[in-house]
Amino acid sequence: MSKQPLSVAVIGAGMAGRSHAAGYRQVNTVFGDGLPPVRLAAIADANTELAADAARRYGYEKAVSSWEEIVEDPSIDAVSIVVGNALHRPIAEALIRAGKHVLCEKPLAGSLADAEAMVAAERTAEAVTAVGYTFRRSPAISAIRDHVRRGELGELTLFNGRYWCDYATDPRSPLSWRFKGGPGSGALGDIGAHVIDVAEHVCGPITSVSGGALSTQIPKRPLPLGPVVGHNAAPVGDEVGEVENEDTAVFTARFQSGLTGSFSVSRTAFGLPNGLAFDACGLSGRASFDWHRPAEYLFDDTQPEARTRGARQVIAGPQLPYFAGGYPMEAPGVGGGNAEMFVYQCRAFLDQVTGAADPLPPCATFADALHTMKVAQAVVRSAERGGAAVDVD
């Protein structure tokens, strides 16, 4: 193991940026000693007060006011991009030109054209490029994927996925960047990207969609009087602006295997703060997961004795992926959540950067994330065509 420190930085000090910052801080506490020492170099955000607070909280050496300062710092090796989608391309391209390794938050970019340009940059990059799909790091979701890959559910017959959130139910929520960008960049791009990736992670690639329908429940929102951080409330005035994208999206999908799936996503689903959930059914078993109960999943399969058949609760513990070596208290039923998944994601990214001998499963690539965006864009085209079937490029 190299003794030379690996320097990391995070661009974006909001909700998800802090999750990346905390993740890097803990990467050497999990899965052995395969990494060199990690230097927590800098947090960048145009909101300097927010950047300074994040740097203080998570032990970073400094806070800076622009992403260009991170690009120009030759001592920084690896960077997370955690800002508005439209900024991903210029930042990623500049970091790649500077020879830095890049972990970009999903969705990959604000438009397909920008995402395709980022994939072109990835093809020629000498550094590692990756995308953050944190739900791939859930022990329970990973265990369900293993059940499917080992054929323990039999031939899959149905997938139902949903991501229902309530962060936009209040009509006085400020008109932040999340509500701009056109059809497909709202709930579908923000949270739909996650459930699409989970579905493909478990069941394989999606090749076509149909039945697409987008709707906006709150068409106008008040303009904020200052910066908006994450999904937080912020002071607003009397002036309102148009919401440019969807609050809710539904569609069906055809997987490469022939499996059919149904999907729904919403940011106006009252009472569901973070409701990613799915069911995978096969001819000889089924599995179900709900992120509001992240330390378990339900599993059922064919058994010779009818009295013992039925869904049973599988409690997350050291028998599941990521748990052994990944939790301070390696005991069943102690929980698990978003914070751990960001640690595992950051560790996997840095394993790729250092070429660790036994790395975790690698992060998604820019090309993977472009495919997810093409699925979402196919849903938009399906909606524009009255629900017609549309192939994913």
Tell me phi and psi for residue 341, to 5 degrees: -65, -35
Query: Could you report the per-residue pLDDT of 278-296, keeping only the tens digit for each?
Result: 999 999 999 999 999 999 9
Instruction: Give dist(CA 217, CA 301) in Å, integer.
Output: 40
User: Of the candidates 118, 135, 152, which is a domain's last residue?
Assistant: 135
Tens digit of each residue's pLDDT (9 = 90 or more) over 206-229: 999 999 999 999 999 999 887 777
Half-sphere exposure of 346 (CA within 13 A, CB side): 33
Please report the DSSP string for 295-315 in residue order: TEEEEEE--S-GGG-S-EEEE
Residue 263 confidence (pLDDT) above 60:
yes
Which of 117, 135, 153 is where one domain is finished? 135
User: pLDDT value at position 332?
Assistant: 85
Torsion of CA 24, 28, 32, 33, to 10 degrees: 120
pLDDT in tens, 27-77: 999 998 889 999 999 999 999 999 999 999 999 999 999 999 999 999 999
Alpha carbons within 13 A on the beta-carbon side of 80: 33
* Separation between Cα atoms, residue 64 and residue 257, nearest integer Å: 48
348 within domain boundaries: no
pLDDT at residue 177, rounded to an integer: 87
Residue 52 confidence (pLDDT): 98
Whether residue 197 sits in one domain with residue 319: yes
pLDDT at 128 over 60: yes
pLDDT band at 308 (very low <50, low <70, confident <90, very high): confident
**Cα–Cα separations (whole angstroms), residue 287 to 188, 199, 284:** 24, 13, 11
In the 8-state DSSP scheme, what is residue 283? Answer: S
Does 358 map to a domain?
Answer: no
CA atoms within 13 A on the CB side of 91: 30
Please give the pLDDT value at position 337: 84
Contact 228, 84 (CB under 8 A): no
Task: Give the model's pLDDT for residue 336.
Answer: 77
Residue 232 has pLDDT above 70, yes or no: no
Is the model's pLDDT at 377 over the cut of 70? yes
Domain assignment present for 364: no
Give the number of domains in the chain: 2
Percent of the chain whose predicted confidence (pLDDT) is above 70: 99
Has residue 341 been placed in a domain?
no
pLDDT of residue 1 exceeding 60, the answer is no
Residue 293: which of 265, 266, 274, 317 has the closest Cα? 274
Amino acid at 352: Q
**Three-state secondary-structure class, residue 374:** helix
Q: Residue 8: which H helix or E strand, with range?
A: strand 6-11
* Residue 224 preceded by cis peptide, ω within 30: no
The model's pLDDT over 320-362, given as tens digits with 9 standing for 90+, comes to 999 888 988 888 887 778 899 999 999 999 999 999 877 899 9
CATH code of residue 305? 3.30.360.10
Residue 132's pLDDT is what?
A: 93
CA-based angle 338:342:344, to the nearest 5? 115
Asked if residues 222 and 239 have their Cβ atoms less than 8 Å apart, the reply is yes
- State the angle between helix axes of 366-384 and 192-203 in degrees (0 to 180), rounded to the nearest 10: 110
Element (H, E) at 221: strand 220-224
Domain match, 185 and 275 both = yes
- The answer to whether 236 and 223 have CB atoms below 8 angstroms apart is yes
The verdict on 171 and 39 lying in the same domain is no
Residues 164 and 204 in one domain: yes
Contacts of 15 (CB under 8 A, 6+ apart): 229, 230, 231, 232
Residue where a domain terminates, one of 103, 135, 167: 135
DSSP strand pairing (129-132 vs 260-266):
unpaired
Q: Which domain holds residue 190?
A: 139-336+371-384
What CA–CA distances, in Å, run from 256 to 1, 133, 203, 288, 369?
Answer: 41, 21, 9, 21, 17
As a whole-number percent, the residues of the chain with pLDDT over 90 amount to 84
Residue 331, pLDDT score: 85
The residue type at 281: C
108 and 90 share a domain?
Answer: yes
Cβ proximity of 210 and 382 under 8 Å: yes
| 98 touches 121 (CB < 8 A) | no
**Using one digit for the tens of pLDDT, what is the confidence trace for 296-305?**
999 999 887 8
Co-location of 180 and 256 in the same domain = yes
